[in-house]
Amino acid sequence: MAKLNKGKQTEAADELVLVALGGMGEIGMNAYLYGYGPSNARRWLLIDLGITFPEGEFDPGVDVILPDLRFLIEERSALEGIVLTHAHEDHIGAVIDLWPQLGAPIYATPFTAGMLRAKSVEFGGKIKLPVNVMPLGARTKIGPFDIELVTMSHSIPEPSAIAIRTPLGLSLHTGDWKLDQTPFVGDPPNENRLAELGQEGVRALVCDSTNAMRDGSSPSEAEIASSIAKIIKAAPHRVAVTTFSSNVARIKAVGDAARAAGRTLVVAGRALHRVIAVARDTGYLPEDFRYVDQQEFKYIHRKDVVLLCTGSQGEPRAAMARIADKQHPDVQFAKGDMVIFSSRTIPGNERSVGRIQNALTRMGCEVVTDGEALVHVTGHPRRDELKKMYEWIKPEVAVPMHGEARHMKAHAELARSSGVAFIVTAHNGEMVRLAPEPSEIIDDVPVGRLFRDGRLIVPGDDGPVRDRRKLAVVGVVVVAIALSRKGEVLTDAEIMLDGVPEFDAEGNEMFDIVADAVDGTLDSLPTRKLREIEVVREAVRRSVRAAVANVWGKKPIAKVLINLIDG
């Protein structure tokens, strides 16, 4: 539990506080906890519960990364609900894994609820999530929180800002957003309602920082749709498009472009099939949205096909990576085919995306990215859009969120230049008092990361992934020794080296170096010490590491197994 700093408020005074369990100081893993009441009896509301993705060699074997909810789990009896702003994985991806530890009701719009149900079925459908479906623009009470959804635009249907009213005033949590009056799919942002909230009076604006360093305004999805249609119409051979599977507007744009060019749309990737099904059910794609599955690809002439597939971020098991590696069972490219990456590479994915693009180029494919043509647009506000938000909302306090430190710093400077008197830049775990005055960091709570490792959720700090990182650098030496209970060495030690060089610089075998270290240690220990198993284990471990380090310059992981034999 956090050790609360009472500051200038008495313990009995009601406060509205915010603490990010993920999403402040990083892009992804969004989980924002709002608390209302006195410090010893707060009620809580969680906005979003998302994941982030592993960073290659830094997280070996990790599938996804989830927020550590240890603080909230202790407070779960006071958790009133979980409100989801939209259906991107970095906002809902941890719900199925972590909800059982919380047990609170979930609130979501129809498309977001549909995506959550589809994910639940994909994970076996064992957990029945208590999802309360809210219409766009709805308003409801969740404990002491009066919640109103404000329609925004983003790269997925039904993104909502959350207006949070308490007796201490109104705060606005923007979620992910941009100002796109022609979003191609779904409603445009409700700018009039934003202005009305500003007139009502907003205490705190907690706002997206992703593009706070980029000048101007974001282009519209309608512009992207027009550009993609022209590119596909002019292409002489096959066209493949990879994008974020959740971008329904982009899916519709590619489908429309294929139909306009007289081509057949082929879809490859389970995630795309899931999103298309939910979008049809909720009316964001027409019932007659036609496509065929990847098995039909080989039967369609190369001039008559448009392939829509997963893998825009270089995911090794996604369709695009398998195609680039010539391992896909149904889809193969040929010289002259065009591959459009209708996405922006997430920081950390540059190497894997580059590898795939280079492989496609070696095949003779023409690779098109947002650097060469208008094939992608961000879903987040640039500086001119942020300025408009501040003009409408006129908050007393600004709290940047959803960004790395440099993004939030740029956002804070923009908020200050927009006339906001109080800016609080916090990071994960730092508790911010939003109301009453003064708004400031008043406490901290434990935060961290959990890893989904296959079918298990494992700790991020002291778990197996930390050991894998070390293994990747220094390898392992395993020594097995047989001892009698009298302290006698019964056989030669069994030694296994993995990830360690076979020879030293002079050509001596590393196996022999380790064996000499083991024998020397065992010979040096008196019989009474050889009866103490842990003493023997530690002495051998240290000597093996030192011997290898002396000739290699690196200390391997050393494991010593002792078999104690009677008689």
Same-domain status, 137 and 272:
no
Residue 476 sits in a domain of what CATH number? 3.10.20.580
How is residue 167 written in tokens?
A: 């007796």
Same-domain status, 202 and 323:
no
Q: How many CB atoms lie within 10 A of CB 521?
A: 22
Residue 261 sits in a domain of what CATH number? 3.40.50.10710
In a domain, 537, yes or no: yes
Backbone φ and ψ of 153, nearest 5°: -120, 150
Query: Domain span at residue 333?
Result: 221-368
Question: Domain ends where: 368, 394, 427?
Answer: 368
> What does each of the 567 residues of the chain score in pLDDT, given as a tens digit?
444 444 444 456 999 999 999 999 999 999 999 999 999 999 999 999 999 987 766 777 788 899 999 999 999 999 999 999 999 999 999 999 999 999 999 999 999 999 999 988 877 667 889 999 999 999 999 999 999 999 999 999 999 999 999 999 999 999 999 999 999 999 999 999 999 999 999 999 999 999 999 999 999 999 999 999 999 999 999 999 999 999 999 999 999 999 999 999 999 999 999 999 999 999 999 988 999 999 999 999 999 999 999 999 998 889 999 999 999 999 999 999 999 999 988 877 888 999 999 999 999 999 999 999 999 999 999 999 999 999 999 999 999 999 999 999 999 999 999 999 999 999 999 999 999 999 999 999 999 999 888 888 888 877 788 888 888 889 999 999 999 988 899 999 999 999 999 999 999 999 999 999 999 999 999 989 999 999 999 999 999 999 999 999 999 999 999 999 986
Same-domain status, 241 and 333:
yes
Cβ-contact 363, 335 below 8 angstroms? yes
* Residue whose token pair is 């008689």: 567
Same-domain status, 140 and 227:
no
| Count, residues in the chain | 567
Same-domain status, 444 and 468:
no
Same-domain status, 97 and 244:
no
Same-domain status, 84 and 205:
yes
In a domain, 2, yes or no: no
DSSP structure string for 211-277: TTTS-S-PPPHHHHHHHHHHHHHH-SS-EEEE--TT-HHHHHHHHHHHHHTT-EEEEE-HHHHHHHH
In a domain, 7, yes or no: no
* Residue whose token pair is 């209708």: 342
In a domain, 4, yes or no: no
Same-domain status, 436 and 525:
no
| Rounded CA separation 398/241 (Å) | 39
Query: What pLDDT does 460 receive?
Result: 82
Same-domain status, 161 and 43:
yes
In a domain, 49, yes or no: yes
Question: Domain ends where: 405, 435, 457?
Answer: 457
In a domain, 336, yes or no: yes
Provide the 8-state DSSP code for 374.
Answer: S
Residue 22 sits in a domain of what CATH number? 3.60.15.10
In a domain, 6, yes or no: no
In a domain, 9, yes or no: no
| Rounded CA separation 60/499 (Å) | 15
| DSSP3 helix / strand / coil % (the chain, rounded to 5) | 35, 25, 40
Question: Domain ends where: 368, 393, 409?
Answer: 368
Provide the 8-state DSSP code for 26.
Answer: B
Angle between helices 221-234 and 248-260 (to 10 degrees): 30
Contacts 24+ apart (CB under 8 A), 70-73: 70/446, 70/448, 71/1, 71/2, 71/19, 71/21, 71/33, 71/445, 71/446, 71/447, 72/21, 72/33, 72/44, 72/46, 72/102, 73/101, 73/102
Same-domain status, 504 and 417:
no
Q: How many domains does the chain have?
A: 3
Same-domain status, 246 and 167:
no
Same-domain status, 117 and 262:
no
| Rounded CA separation 479/87 (Å) | 50
